[in-house]
Amino acid sequence: MKRILILACSIALLWSCKENIDESARYVFQHDTMASYLEKHEDYSEYVEILKQTPISLASNSTVFQLMSARGNYTVFAPTNEAIHAYLEKLTEQNLITAPSWESFQDSTLRDSIYRVIAYNSIIDGGDVDLYHTYDFPTQTNGEFDRGNLMDLKLTVLYTNNPDEIFICKDCPVNVRNRDILTTNGVLHQMEKVIAPDDKAMSTILSEYISGRKEGFYVIAKLCEACGLMDTLSKVRDEVYEERYLRGQITPTWPANGMASVAPGKSFTPKHRKYGFTIFAEPDEFWEAELGKNARDITPEDVQNWVEAKGYYPKAVANSDYKSTDNMLNQWTTYHVLDYKLAPNRLTFHFCEYGYRYTVSTKYTIPVMEYYPTMGKRRLLKIYESPECEGIYLNRFPIIDNGRTGTGHEIGCDPDKTGNRVDRDDPDMELHTAVNGYLYAIDKPLAYDEATRNNLGRQRIRMDAMSWFPEAANSDIRCQLIDDDEHGWVHIPYDAEYHYFKNLNINEGSTFVYCNGYGKNWSNYCADEIKCVGRWELTFKLPPVPMRNTYEIRYRVIANDNRGVAQIYFGTDPNKMAVTGIPVDLTMGGADPKTGWEADTEDEDYNAEVDKRMRNLGYMKGERAIDCINSSANSRSTTNRHIIRHIIIRQTLDPEKTYYIRFKSVLDKLTPEFYMDGLEWCPKEVYDNPETPEDIW
């Protein structure tokens, strides 16, 4: 009863402020709308009645049924009468009601809450425009749908070896015969069970392993508890932001102020600011084999002794102060945890890597990777995927065919560098999927040991800028496969209105927009970019470097006449940073003779000499690894000479220090844009290696 009442309160808070449905906007075709189709079939009579009794928001007199009569693109997972009756029987078993019937509800508030659970969880609103893949299911088992349902939850899909079997949220089967039924305003799938996913936080899932002494992830649950992570893992959303947004204290839309290529002339502020987490964990069976104990008898001290014996963290303190970041067990545990919610189909991103076109390709080509700072003591974790390794791996360091005439593919991997395989196909994934995160099993111990640090520190690290912001992943902002204005032009408030991204400071007077390029054929690293107009001054907190070394930091720019000129600052004190050099002209591409850019020829020795001359001038060509879909060529090609990498700094960086980078407009005009795609960190032994020159990929 308590969970249902809490859910009812949460729904009330999350309801949107839509006005009444515009009845005049309905389709007038002879074919059925979703509403008329449901009414014609007796199997859905109870579902129809629920939709008619459920308003779409507190601010509207319209019902969900009326919404299903209106213009739109809805995906509806419609439960049959039999499925609804089974759900009522379940509520009876839980003693929430006295009998499996609607008449047994003595409390109308509880009944209305159950109505909303059934109605809101069953419908995904695809918007009012013709979208890419509006009705597509995720291709990855356990993957999330692109859009949330009316409850603002992401439904997941589970596939089995039987191609006719599809389950929503693990155990809700889609009827084999009555699915993919097209109506004039959406597609319907008949459900044999009501979709009512648990709204458990990650902390609750871990606590249930401990209190119930369940097997599977008992040990990692005990470690998170010992290290004081449970309060953090209980966070779901920023309630202060939530209230301010609902009260109209945060502006829902912003004018673009002349920002180039913002077609609708406005950008949309996120409705939520959510928290999220991803835990990669050795399962209990691993610990039982290593320690020779039943998992429920393994203590945090046992694990710390094991970590110490392995020599993973020789500089850490092996004491009982597990909540200290200097403690060995804390460093072991927190390296398994990210404050990013990463669904199985969003651990890596495939958009425009060499030889791949996300709009038409069906097979992946070259490796892709993401880098994230972990919780606790800040350290990098690499997430890697390639066709050759057939899966997702952590900290994999393979051999890549990255010569000037190479293929870019993985061609081998030393046994000690294969990394940790992530089980994202787990048929029981829903059991350790929280409303605010995911818990994945890995196949071997994960540690930030000397070998891992050295491997990370001896390679070029290329990071998309949006990977620096946990909020972008947790609030479904980054890389959404949705081609509409609300997801394409996301306005992030400046700090005085609300400090939304914890790793970014936005000054008042800036209009800061995240631009999602899905469906727009852009030339960006992950098909997205950051723009800002006004009198912008932006300070980014950067992820840590892997090890103490001399690094180059490169700034990738797609130059055009809409850009501005940025003075760049760098340092460890965000309030006192040194200038890195002369201002960077973001309008300047390879066509400017000052860059030394020349088109590649068939003479690779000459091409290498051109690259060397450009480096001496502080520039680099674009990357062969990134294809530009709008030109059907990679970023080094003649048609893409506007893509330039600026070498910002070359200095020694320390993994124990936090670095910041600031971009400040030096122009008086307010319309020239700031632009950010991403940065590269490249160690000296890569960019200045006399035996093996840095690759062009």
What is the per-residue pLDDT across 92-106, written as a single tens digit (0 to 9) for each?
Answer: 999 999 999 999 998
The reply to whether 70 and 210 lie within a common domain is no
* Maximal C-alpha separation, the chain: 83
533 closest CA partner among 323, 354, 675: 675
Judge if 25 and 73 occupy the same domain: yes
pLDDT of 28 strictly over 90: no
Q: Same structural domain for residues 612 and 678?
A: yes
Query: Is 506 found in the same domain as 358?
Result: no
Q: What pLDDT, on a 0 to 100 scale, did the predictor assign at position 95?
A: 93
Q: How many CA atoms lie within 13 A of 546 on its CB side?
A: 23
Residue 262 lies in a domain: no
Name the nearest CA neighbour of 395 among 383, 386, 385: 383
Instruction: Specify the residue for token string 């950051």.
Output: 530
579: left (phi > 0), else alpha (psi -120 to 50), else beta?
beta
**Domain edge (last residue) among 279, 303, 337:** 337
Residue 391 and residue 300 in one domain: no
- Please name the residue ranges forming H helices in 15-107: 34-40, 45-53, 64-67, 81-93
Mean pLDDT for 479-500 is: 92
pLDDT in tens, 140-164: 999 999 999 999 999 999 999 998 9
Instruction: Express as a percent the part of the chain with pLDDT over 90.
Output: 83
Average pLDDT over every residue of 381-393: 97
**What is residue 554's predicted lDDT score, i.e. its pLDDT?**
98
Is 497 domain-assigned? Answer: yes
Least confident of 406-410, 514-518, 626-630: 626-630
Query: Per-residue pLDDT averaged across 668-697, rounded?
Result: 95
**261 found inside a domain:** no
Report whether pLDDT(12) > 60.
no
In a domain, 696, yes or no: no
Measured on CA atoms in the order 410, 416, 419, 421, is the torsion positive or negative?
A: positive
What is the per-residue pLDDT across 583-610, written as a single tens digit (0 to 9) for each?
A: 999 999 999 999 999 999 999 999 999 9
Q: Give SS3 for 539.
A: strand
Distance CA 273, CA 411 (A): 42
Q: Distances from the Cα of 128 to the Cαs of 263, 463, 485, 523, in angstroms?
A: 16, 34, 11, 27
- Burial degree of 2 (CB within 10 A; 0-12, 13-18, 19+): exposed
Q: Is pLDDT at 499 greater than 60 in this prediction? A: yes
- Of 592, 693, 578, the closest CA to residue 644 belongs to 592
Q: Rounded to 5 degrees, what are φ and ψ at 604?
A: -70, -30
Burial per residue of 584-600, b for 16 or more beta-carbon CB atoms within 10 angstroms, e otherwise: bbbbbbbebeebbbbeb
Q: Is the pLDDT assigned to residue 553 strictly greater than 90?
A: yes
Grade residue 22 by pLDDT with cuts at 50, 70 and 90: very low
142 within some domain = yes
Task: Determine the Cα–Cα distance for residues 397 and 452; give it in Å rounded to an integer.
Answer: 9
pLDDT at 24: 38
Distance separating the N- and C-terminal Cα atoms of the chain: 57
Cα 365 from chain centroid? 21
Q: Is 38 left (phi over 0), alpha (psi -120 to 50) or beta?
A: alpha
| Residue 467 φ/ψ, nearest 5 degrees | -75, -10
Condensed to tens digits (0 to 9), the pLDDT of residues 77-128 reads 999 999 999 999 999 999 999 999 999 998 899 999 999 999 999 999 988 7
pLDDT above 70 for 490: yes
pLDDT at 326: 98
Residue 131 has pLDDT above 60, yes or no: no
Claim to verify: residue 478 and residue 427 sit in the same structural domain: no
Torsion of CA 309, 315, 318, 319, to 10 degrees: 180
Q: Please state the pTM of the whole predicted model.
A: 0.91
CB 554 within 8 A of CB 687: no
Is residue 373 in a domain?
yes
What is d(CA 214, CA 296) in angstroms, rounded to the nearest whole number? Answer: 8
The Cβ of residue 17 has, within 10 Å, a number of other Cβ atoms equal to 11
pLDDT at 264 over 70: no
Q: Is 519 left (phi over 0), alpha (psi -120 to 50) or beta?
A: left
Which tens digits make up the pLDDT trace of 463-481? 999 999 999 999 999 999 8
Q: What does each C-alpha distance from 105 to 45, 96, 110 come to in angstroms?
A: 19, 9, 7
Q: Are 515 and 528 in contact (CB under 8 A)?
A: yes
In this predicted structure, which of 232-236, 414-418, 629-633 has the lowest mean pLDDT?
629-633
Sheet hosting strand 253-255, strand order edge to edge: 253-255, 266-268, 489-492, 510-516, 528-534, 674-676
* CATH number of the structural domain spanning residue 91: 2.30.180.10
Token pair for 169? 């949220």
Please report the sign of the dihedral spanned by the C-alpha atoms of residue 189, residue 201, residue 252, residue 488.
negative
447 half-sphere exposure, CB direction, 13 A CA radius: 19
List the one residue out of 181, 194, 172, 174 whose CA is nearest residue 40: 181
At 630, is the pLDDT very low, low, confident or very high (cuts 50, 70, 90)?
A: low
**Structural contact between residues 76 and 43, judged by C-beta atoms closer than 8 angstroms:** no
Q: Can you give the pLDDT at residue 517?
A: 85
Strand pairing category for 437-442 and 420-423: antiparallel
The whole-angstrom separation of Cα 336 and Cα 375 is 8
Q: Which of 634, 619, 614, 276 is nearest to 436 (CA)?
A: 276
CA–CA gap between residue 133 and residue 481 (Å, rounded): 8
Q: Helix or strand or coil: residue 158?
A: strand
Q: Please state, rounded to an integer, the average pLDDT across all residues of the chain.
A: 92
What is residue 25's predicted lDDT score, i.e. its pLDDT? 37
Q: Please, are residues 392 and 367 in contact by the beta-carbon 8 Å criterion? A: no
Based on the domain organization, do 396 and 452 belong to the same domain? yes
Whether 442 is in a domain gets the answer no
Q: CA dihedral defined by 131, 276, 236, 221, rounded to 10 degrees?
A: 140
pLDDT of residue 485: 84
**Would you say residue 693 lies in a domain?**
no
Beta-ladder partners of 386: 391
Query: Residue 561: which CATH number?
Result: 2.60.120
Q: Are 571 and 578 in contact (CB under 8 A)?
A: yes
Alpha-carbon distances of 451 from 84, 282, 396, 419, 686, rounded to whole Å? 55, 19, 12, 11, 17
- At which of 337, 353, 370 does a domain end? 337
CB atoms within 10 A of CB 228: 13
Q: Are residues 466 and 532 in the same domain?
A: yes
The residue with greater pLDDT, 485 or 680, is 680
Average confidence (pLDDT) over 180-189:
94
377 & 519 share domain: no
In terms of residue numbers, what domain contains 223?
A: 202-246+268-337
Do 528 and 517 touch, CB atoms closer than 8 A?
A: yes
Does pLDDT of 58 surpass 60? yes
Q: What is the mean pLDDT of residues 264-281?
A: 92
Mean pLDDT computed over 335-339:
98
Residues 299 and 384 in one domain: no
| Radius of gyration for the alpha carbons in the chain, expressed in angstroms and rounded | 26
**What digits encode the pLDDT tens for the residues 223-256?**
999 999 999 999 999 999 999 999 999 999 888 6
DSSP state of 416: G
Split into its structural domains, the chain has a count of: 4
DSSP state of 100: S
pLDDT band at 631 (very low <50, low <70, confident <90, very high): low
pLDDT at residue 501 in the model = 98
Instruction: Decide if 442 contacts 282 (C-beta within 8 A).
Output: yes
Residues in the chain: 697
384-418 as b/e: b if 16+ CB within 10 A:
bbbeebeebbbbbbbebebeeeeebbbeebeeebb
- Report helix, strand or coil for 3: helix
Residues 326 and 236 in one domain: yes
Domain boundary among 399, 424, 457: 457
**Model confidence at 620: pLDDT above 90:** yes
Q: Are residues 212 and 232 in the same domain?
A: yes
